[in-house]
């Protein structure tokens, strides 16, 4: 396993927990691509990434991710995680609900010269929306 990459990803997760946008953005290349697949939002470069991070932390002030497992091969990494938070701020098309959520997901990460060049996050949007109370719970079959 690439211990440098494993260490860097652990430090980046600590930055997520701190909600320090500048500290977190420092882990990314200037020309990074950060994709939130479920929301359909692709951020190009650090400035767009910072806007995304500020939006996320404003909408979910207690937002956090808890890594569950890492898989690393060369400059590529995969992380399984659980993200959670409370929806206290509006996001486009979704006014604050005040409800909490906890959803499993995964990130695929590409690193270049010790920084994250590309990150794509995947999670179940339907589970998130059900927990926030904006999508009906599926009836049992």
Half-sphere exposure of 88 (CA within 13 A, CB side): 9
Query: What's the pLDDT band for 5 if we cut at 50, 70, 90?
Result: confident
Q: What is the pLDDT of residues 48-64, one digit of tens each?
A: 999 999 999 999 999 99
Give the domain 3-131 fold.
Answer: Nuclear Transport Factor 2; Chain: A, (3.10.450)
Is the pTM above the cut of 0.95?
Answer: no
Mean pLDDT of 115-123: 97
Q: CA-based diameter of the chain, in Å?
A: 50
Residue 117 reports pLDDT greater than 90: yes
Q: Residue ranges per domain, the chain?
A: 3-131
Q: Which pLDDT value is given to residue 131?
A: 95
pLDDT in tens, 62-103: 999 999 998 989 899 999 999 999 999 998 888 999 999 999
pLDDT at 2: 64
């Amino acid at each position: 396993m690439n211990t440098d990459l494993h260490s860097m990803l652990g430090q980046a997760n600590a930055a997520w927990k701190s909600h320090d946008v500048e500290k977190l953005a420092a882990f990314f290349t200037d020309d990074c691509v950060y994709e939130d697949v479920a929301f359909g939002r692709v951020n190009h470069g650090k400035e767009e990434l910072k806007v995304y991070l500020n939006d996320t932390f404003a909408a979910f002030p207690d937002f956090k991710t808890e890594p569950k497992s890492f898989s690393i091969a060369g400059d590529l990494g995969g992380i399984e995680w659980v993200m959670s938070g409370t929806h206290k701020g509006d996001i486009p098309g979704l006014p604050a609900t005040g409800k909490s959520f906890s959803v499993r997901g995964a990130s695929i990460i590409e690193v270049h010269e010790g920084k994250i060049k590309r990150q794509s996050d995947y999670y179940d949007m339907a589970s998130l929306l059900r927990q926030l109370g904006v999508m009906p719970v599926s009836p049992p079959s």
